Amino acid sequence: MNTRKDTEVGKALKGDLSRRRFVGVTSMLVAGTALKLNASCISDISANEPEPIIDIHQHTDYTGRDNKYLVQHQRAMGVTTTILLPAGRPMVSESTHNGLSNGLEAMVSGNKVACRFAEKHANKFFFGANEVPDHPEAVKTIEKYLKRGAVVIGELKFGVECDSREMQKIYQLAKGYNVPVLMHWQFQRYNYGFERFHTMLEKYPEVNFIGHAQTWWANIDKDNSDQTVMYPGGKLTPGGLTDRLLGDYPNMYGDLSAGSGFNALARDEGHAREFLARHQDKLLFGSDCTDTGNNGVAAVDTACQGVRTIAEIRKLATTEQIERKILYENAKKLFKI
């Protein structure tokens, strides 16, 4: 979770949000009160009949969070539909950095847990399918869960070349099942060869890809020259590699989740307004939020990654239509939910 932009968040949670409903949570946030997830507040939220929001990026057992708090947490954020992204199997290999990256490097549980959770909470939660790409049964495992109803492959977060034979087998599987692929881009850590990824977009034009994480969002800036800086700050220049991929390829989308997505919006809000307008049909809200509150009891307050990102999108979207696309309509169409 990225808390580096508290000043911008404070602004986002003030007057700009009053122009639209924030699912009954906003008044508490503006007052600086954490929303504790008890039965009464959940009832209040439901009574407000919020505008739908799809969160395309959540996890079960995220950094040890008890899954019994996940439903309440998502509802308190104002999210009406959530997609759970599982980890691949625990494995000691070069692609998992000798096991250090197991559980998506965040204790995230695998396909079985995400699938069962989504089936238990039908129509509110959907699930993805994942596996370590160079495991001999990777395609077989992913296909098993696609057949059970997975709506996406990913989050692919492994130390492999983005155009490797193993990854291309997964892209081919996505084509066959007509599901998108969500990829975590992190320089010299996950999905190597970002500068070459356009070749995969061209080779698999029927496959929709979703970009996420530090390297993806750092490269909206044309002047981004140091790939080792994960959260660059300050003004930026349009036309970076990410900006071009979104503009040039119909099958490329962007996931606004996590501190990296928030940072891309908050670091230069003038640019962000134009960026959201320019790519309004390609951007998707995700929280990637680990928030649990105190003593394991989930809470939503100004520190919650999802709340902060929703607020920033609502602040920077220049029209109601753009806001609705990013928070709901684009995901509904892409994931067919």
Residue 41 has pLDDT above 70, yes or no: no
Lowest mean pLDDT among 102-111, 212-221, 303-312: 303-312
Q: What is the pLDDT of residue 76?
A: 87
User: Helices marked H in 36-137 — which ranges?
Assistant: 39-47, 70-77, 111-120
pLDDT beyond 90 at 149 = yes
pLDDT at 337 over 80: yes
- Tell me how far apart the 2 most distant CA atoms of the chain are, in Å: 54
Taking CB atoms within 8 Å and a gap of at least 24, the contacts of 16-19 are: 16/311, 16/314, 16/315, 17/311, 17/314, 17/315
Torsion of CA 270, 56, 246, 194, to 10 degrees: 110
Interval 302-317 mean pLDDT = 91
Tokens at residue 98, please? 């000798």
Is the confidence at residue 135, as pLDDT, over 90? Answer: yes
**CA 233: distance to chain centroid?**
20
Q: What is the percent of the chain where pLDDT is above 70?
A: 82
How many Å separate Cα 196 from the centre of its chain? Answer: 22
Q: Which residues contact 277 (CB under 8 A, 6 or more apart)?
A: 318, 322
Which structural domains are found in the chain, ordered by start? 6-335 (3.20.20.140)
Q: What is the mean pLDDT of residues 36-59?
A: 63
Q: What is the pLDDT of residues 168-202, one digit of tens each?
A: 999 999 999 999 999 999 999 999 999 999 999 99
Tell me the pTM: 0.85
pLDDT at 50: 72
Over the stretch 200-211, which tens digit does the pLDDT of each residue have? 999 999 999 999
Which of 9-23, 67-81, 241-255 is predicted most confidently?
241-255
Are the C-beta atoms of residues 337 and 35 closer than 8 Å to each other?
A: no
Mean pLDDT confidence for 127-143: 98
pLDDT of residue 293: 56
